[in-house]
Chain A
């Protein structure tokens, strides 16, 4: 089924790791200290905590489940656990055999006047071989000003270098020149297919339920695969296992509520989060009031909701089980006399995970996940109904091992298998009396699989290397596609505060998003690879320098990248994507290329925190049938992209926040000429634009400032605040799109001219949200 070559290579590499390990193991007796690090006040696993043994000049960090393991010669040591936002803890131990040391860190007191961010510290970021990753903490995201007051972590991610938004208000991500379908969104390890509500204006992630979010732009670790351009790894909170709590907020357009608490104190907890918009309540009211006006067009009702639920249970000292689920939906509907229209779309995801500690050196996480995305458009006239739907359903099994033999190597290996079921363009229509009825649509299945093995190793004191291989493939019932994805990165410490990093990754993508537009529309279709539509491939090389200064408070990094993408998909003119049994014929295939430089400076501790990022980049595509085969700029080719984010704690009760973004205008196509077409009897004649070059014109530059103020209230119980934000504070009319207007004479009988008009979307928008927590 899979190519013998890849399989053999994989086994060879695994063997290599297993053989070399005992050879390198040192002669003297080694013991292992392992355990989990959690937050004292709520029991949440802490990821990326620095565990250091200063005497041995060695250390490690906790894995995504809070687990760490460090091997030392027998003796007495002081272990130091440090994490931003928490008080550093020291533990003195004497070891002559393996021990388990579970640590609870206390949150740093807010009275110190510092912003509590809770994250890996900058020192760790300097030392890690992992480059090209952006981390976002909820504490920061919640303080920042937001559109309509709705905190949106994907929009906050767009403020990081190398990550762009598709357009005003859009939550789509364009990472290093890659398209929105090339991002892997993981919600507690379950894949999410459409990570936004309302055509990309809001993301589906409820900030109250999220613990952390990591976005990889390059240097992808071997455990990730399936998408070319990014991995957005969202981890949800586990829930407070000490005491019950509720938190939430009431905002301009939506409200949220989160309930969490222990199921069994210290052993098990749950968390449930929900969010819903209520614009439809007001539009419904307006419609009812105006129902008897003859010319009144009812405003369509729109709403969305999300629900996250999670529970976890400690089965014993070595086992923990987690169960999480997500349900979200968007709905637009309107009714008129005899006419009923409804458009609904949404995601479902669920994950059951089991952490098992085999021994102090071996940790495993096994998960079963299921996810699905579906949209449904239904339409009913008096006697005639019409229903169009598409969906994708996944069932996955994955297992990941962390093996730390204690000789300076840290191995990761694992496997994943996903069964995909696609239903594309199912169209059912007919009259009530069944004189006319038809049903069409196509179903596809596919099995996507991957195996990987990687090692993190420091062959010399200043040199750290992470090398790995992923073998992946896709079997669609007839053909099998597979390939190898080498992943390499290294870090060389030029000095205590200066690191040089480089990485090479190869990625393969087997399922594709068929979208005939630039926006992330819910009607986008996920489509499997087949003999015509080959898997997409990319290779990326990145080199960077990181410098820590200001006494460890500031990290300055500069990264240069080059990415090449093959088997990119676009559409022939006039492509018919719906009710089409031969979608293959609508596609065009080509290649893409992007490169650039990202420079970034960040500060995570102190009264003022934030970052400044500047990206200079190019992103081009080339298709034989588009633009006469010449390279043309991608719509989202953005030459300059600047973000400045600042959060300042003015006093214990007031936080001031501000962001400023600047971007070169999007590339788009303009007509080179115009013709008149009269059409048939009964048609009016019209002016038709003639387009020649693709994306040859630039919109004006985009820039915007948002400001916010968070005012802490003093409620009797718990905590509360009022968050004010002003989106687009200086009210700039940023271009959203450009069109050409036909000017007519007074009685509209004749066209007298044409002019170009620019449409902007959001003017200055103030918003206020009330947040509570107890």
Chain B
């Protein structure tokens, strides 16, 4: 339930500031000279069961630089599984289903089983080298998905699953309405510190109605990816929040920034009655 609290803590603070700031128009632009960092390789790659390898490779830029992305065309990208290296080729494209851009692809499909390891290695002509490893997690199945209605015929979903006591587990929970290629209704990550070994329940807001189709996904994450997700959130929140201390991005890769992880999830589709 920590995400609830985190959300409201910000609401609280923003409420007070928002009222004051919006009432008085107290903002202005100003010139600032920011420190610089040598451009780092940034890799974002999620291996999905049954899907071909797809990776997005970019560079870090100065913070106030223009947002035009630069394609890195001299990089060598290799994913190794069970000793077999597979070179991804440069083929930037926009995928309409996932609504994401990928720069390097391979036809090889991900077939890893829980416990298998994948490694990533990227080198470019400038001498930069990025490496990463990931271990496939086991699927944590969703037990039940219930829709609970209120007086105004709006429903919230209550999703239950069983956490395993043996290890520390990390989850990412998301719910889409109607199909996966839209913005999610709710998405948050959580760990099992409070519910270790017990029945876990996660909920949404009153965003659903009768006949809606809800696609519920429960991802079982490895710790480095969970830390990366949270650090991204914290770094983004530090901008604009006078009460926050800025956090560093905790990448799962070395020699650069970003994430390389194998995704494991269980997905259930419910048509609300």
List residues of A whose CB falls within 8 A of some B CB. Answer: 167, 198-199, 299-300, 302, 332, 337-338, 341, 343, 377, 379, 381-384, 386, 388, 427, 429, 431, 435-436, 438, 440, 516-519, 521, 523, 571, 573-574, 576, 578-581, 669-678, 680-693, 696-697, 700, 733, 736-740, 750-763
Query: Which residues of chain B are within 8 angstroms of A388 by Cβ–Cβ distance?
Result: 5
Query: Which residues of chain B are within 8 angstroms of A429 by Cβ–Cβ distance?
Result: 1
Name A759's contact: one of B21, B63, B231, B259 (CB within 8 Å).
B21
List residues 4-28 of chain B with CB under 8 A from any CB of chain A. Answer: 4-5, 8-9, 12-13, 15-17, 19-21, 24, 26-28
Name A739's contact: one of B60, B217, B240, B250 (CB within 8 Å).
B240
Question: In the complex the two chains form, is A337's CB within 8 Å of B152's CB?
Answer: yes
B232 contacts chain A at the CB level, 8 A cutoff: yes
Question: In the complex the two chains form, is B35's CB within 8 Å of A756's CB?
Answer: no
B252 contacts chain A at the CB level, 8 A cutoff: no
A430's closest neighbor in chain B, by CB? B201
Question: In the complex the two chains form, is A689's CB within 8 Å of B239's CB?
Answer: yes
Query: Which residues of chain B are within 8 angstroms of A762 by Cβ–Cβ distance?
Result: 20, 24, 26
Question: In the complex the two chains form, is A682's CB within 8 Å of B245's CB?
Answer: no
Question: In the complex the two chains form, is B65's CB within 8 Å of A674's CB?
Answer: yes
Name B245's contact: one of A571, A684, A700, A756 (CB within 8 Å).
A571
B211 contacts chain A at the CB level, 8 A cutoff: no
A690 to B182, CA, bound (A): 28
Question: In the complex the two chains form, is B195's CB within 8 Å of A438's CB?
Answer: yes
Question: In the complex the two chains form, is B16's CB within 8 Å of A199's CB?
Answer: yes
A682 to B185, CA, bound (A): 8
List residues of B whose CB falls within 8 A of some A CB. Answer: 1-2, 4-5, 8-9, 12-13, 15-17, 19-21, 24, 26-32, 34-37, 39-40, 42, 44, 46, 56, 58, 60-67, 69, 98, 100-101, 148, 150, 152, 156, 158, 160, 172, 174, 176, 180-184, 187, 193-195, 199, 201, 203, 206, 217, 219, 227, 230-232, 234-236, 238-250, 257-259
CB distance from A382 to the nearest CB of B (A): 5
Query: Which residues of chain B are within 8 angstroms of A337 by Cβ–Cβ distance?
Result: 152
CB distance from A437 to the nearest CB of B (A): 10
Question: In the complex the two chains form, is B244's CB within 8 Å of A517's CB?
Answer: yes
CB distance from B122 to the nearest CB of A (A): 15
Given A435-B201, A576-B2, A674-B61, A691 and B247 touching (CB < 8 A)?
yes
Question: In the complex the two chains form, is B98's CB within 8 Å of A670's CB?
Answer: no
Question: In the complex the two chains form, is A682's CB within 8 Å of B180's CB?
Answer: yes
A523 to B243, CA, bound (A): 12
B148's closest neighbor in chain A, by CB? A383
A756 to B215, CA, bound (A): 39
Question: In the complex the two chains form, is B36's CB within 8 Å of A672's CB?
Answer: yes
Question: In the complex the two chains form, is B242's CB within 8 Å of A519's CB?
Answer: yes
A554 to B84, CA, bound (A): 85
A384 to B201, CA, bound (A): 11
Given A343-B12, A684-B183, A736-B242, A693 and B63 touching (CB < 8 A)?
no
Query: Which residues of chain A are within 8 angstroms of B236 by Cβ–Cβ distance?
Result: 686, 688-689
A693 to B194, CA, bound (A): 34
A684's closest neighbor in chain B, by CB? B183
A765's closest neighbor in chain B, by CB? B24
Question: In the complex the two chains form, is B238's CB within 8 Å of A673's CB?
Answer: no
Contacts A690-B257, A736-B242, A756-B29 known; 16 new A-B pairs at CB < 8 A: A198-B16, A332-B15, A381-B203, A386-B1, A386-B5, A517-B244, A523-B9, A573-B234, A579-B194, A669-B245, A685-B100, A737-B242, A738-B30, A754-B64, A756-B64, A762-B20
Name B257's contact: one of A381, A578, A675, A697 (CB within 8 Å).
A675
B66's closest neighbor in chain A, by CB? A753
Question: In the complex the two chains form, is B187's CB within 8 Å of A760's CB?
Answer: no
Given A670-B35, A673-B61, A683 and B248 touching (CB < 8 A)?
no
Question: In the complex the two chains form, is B174's CB within 8 Å of A690's CB?
Answer: no
A169's closest neighbor in chain B, by CB? B20
